[in-house]
Amino acid sequence: MNLATNLPETFYRAVAPVPVEAPKLVARNDALAAALGLAEDWFERPETLAALSGNGPFPGQEPVALAYSGHQFGNWVPVLGDGRAHLIATLETPKGLFEIQLKGSGATPFSRNGDGRAALGPMLREYIVSEAMAGFGIPTTRALAVVTTGEEVYRRRKEPGAILARVARSHVRVGTFQFAASRRDVEGLRALADHELKRSYSGYPADDSRFLWLLENAIARQAKLIAQWMCVGFIHGVMNTDNMAISGETIDYGPCAFMDTFHPKKVFSSIDEWGRYAWDQQPGIALWNLTRFAECLLPLLDADQEKAVVQARVALEKFLPQFEQHFELGMMAKLGIAERRADDGDFIAATLKMLMEMELDFTLFFRNLTRGEEPGDASWQAAWKARLEGKAPGTDLMARMNPVYIPRNHQVESALKEAEEGNYTRFNTLCDLLRTPFGEKLNMAGFEAAPLAAEEVHATFCGT
């Protein structure tokens, strides 16, 4: 079975992963494997370790590296592609088709002089954070396994090498469409759009209106996704067009992080010097990326370009209202209020301003409010009670929206450091907590707590 079924060959290169010296399975997602319909003993099989390490094929499948372009920090790069990743399998499951991709599995024709490898730390970071996103109920790619390679890679320092196996409905990105559009390949665009509709959507029309339908629904998914990110204090860190999946899943966890002390301009990525991808910039960047996607689809929307531009503009104008609706509903639910009112945007802005000025922890503020405590200043407390209109806050709603546990940066960094030394206890504990992040666990208060000043992490790295 070819992983790029229904796609012209221009979108991929058939290339095998580069074998590694001494693969060892160090993290496995049994629940995800079961959901994919894999056998109970799948991880114990020698052929599984071979497939997950790039030392052998996934039975009956041909590995490929996908081609794509992208705007990286706003700068156009005509050819990017999977420089250290291989799609090794497409699985038919009760929930549809899912792809398995290896990350750090060796050089490809798109490597651009890179070594094609990955360090253990960033691969474990993606495992932890993607499991947390799944636990929060936010659409995401999922980590299936991490394998150490027995080799070393050189980034900021010498680090142990590793390969991540991740699962997604589709790895097609805005940048994949840009790759075809930049080559004026209209038939390629059509094939790519149909491929993505079949992989990631359902209920779409059969005629040519399906392309506008795809644009409208991709916009709607991204509007909700970004709102969900922001409601848990998540900062993606690298929202380039090649890191936005058309499926609406969170993809490419590089220098991502969750806020501790709230500030709307918070940035963690060591390379985001100008704050392009700060917490409060994410809606605008998503719209910018979606505008690039809409530009790609223009030849499919209408033969008359002026009419196509009008259709695209009307679709894009729906993004911010949709985002605001999801964000306001989410934030008010965090405050125990289910019904949205026209002036709630102002109350949310006042709440965030208070959090910033008092330098409060974003997650702990809302969780303490859920517990019946009274965080925040007296004037905010009075405004909140006035907004409740004499009713009790919806604590059940708050408990479903306000996690106890997030991937605290200092805890993640400690887990990664200990794992590099061969101790996976903290890593496994974090993953277990984050799979059910809304329930308090005995003797785990340390994983809920905000960092001490000396523990704060101010910069994260992508690991490429």
Measured CA to CA in angstroms, residue 137 lies from 88, 134, 333 at distances of 26, 5, 15
Residue 254 forms part of a structural domain:
no
- Chunk the chain into consecutive blocks of 10 residues (it has 464) and report each block's average pLDDT, rounded to whole numbers: 66 96 97 95 97 94 96 95 96 92 97 92 97 98 98 90 97 98 97 96 97 98 98 97 98 94 94 92 98 98 98 98 98 96 96 98 97 93 95 96 97 96 97 97 94 88 66
Tokens 């679709």 map to which residue? 315
Residue 438 forms part of a structural domain:
no
Annotated catalytic residue, options 242, 272, 344, 361 = 242
Give the model's pLDDT for residue 188. 96
Give the model's pLDDT for residue 238. 95
Last residue of a domain, one of 113, 142, 168: 168
Give the model's pLDDT for residue 1. 40
Residue 292 forms part of a structural domain:
no
Residue 197 forms part of a structural domain:
no
Give the model's pLDDT for residue 273. 85
Residue 105 forms part of a structural domain:
yes
Identify the domain containing residue 86 by its residue range: 9-168
With beta carbons less than 8 A apart as the criterion, state whether 448 and 404 touch: yes
Q: How far is Cα 92 from Cα 99, in angstroms, rounded to an integer?
A: 9
Give the model's pLDDT for residue 156. 80
- Backbone torsion region of residue 169, taken as left when φ is above 0, otherwise alpha when ψ lies between -120 and 50, otherwise beta: alpha
Give the model's pLDDT for residue 462. 66
Number of structural domains found in the chain: 2
Residue 189 forms part of a structural domain:
no
pTM attached to this predicted model: 0.96
With beta carbons less than 8 A apart as the criterion, state whether 291 and 320 touch: no
Q: How far is Cα 372 from Cα 289, in angstroms, rounded to an integer?
A: 40
Task: Tell me the angle at which helices 319-334 and 282-301 cross, rounded to the nearest 10 degrees.
Answer: 140
HEC states along the chain? CECCCCCCHHHEEECCCCCCCCCEEEEECHHHHHHCCCCCCHHHCHHHHHHHHCCCCCCCCECEEECCCEEECCEEECCCCCCCEEEEEEEEECCEEEEEEEECECCCCCCCCCCCEEEHHHHHHHHHHHHHHHHHCCCECEEEEEEEEEEEEECCCEEEEEEEEEEECCCCEHHHHHHHHCCCCHHHHHHHHHHHHHHHCCCCCCCCCHHHHHHHHHHHHHHHHHHHHHHCCEECCCCCHHHCECCCCECCCCCCEECCECCCCCCCECCCCCCCCCHHHHHHHHHHHHHHHHHHHHHHHCCCHHHHHHHHHHHHCCHHHHHHHHHHHHHHHHCCCCCCCCCHHHHHHHHHHHHHHHCCEHHHHHHHHHCCCCCCCHHHHHHHHHHCCCCCCCHHHHHHHCCCCCCCHHHHHHHHHHHHCCCCHHHHHHHHHHHCCCCCCCCCHHHHCCCCHHHCCCCECCCC
Last residue of a domain, one of 134, 168, 202: 168
Catalytic, 361? Answer no
Residue 203 forms part of a structural domain:
no
Give the model's pLDDT for residue 7. 86
Residue 394 forms part of a structural domain:
yes
How many other CB atoms sit within 10 Å of the CB of residue 429?
A: 16
> Please, which residues bridge with residue 253 across strands?
none
Last residue of a domain, one of 168, 184, 214: 168
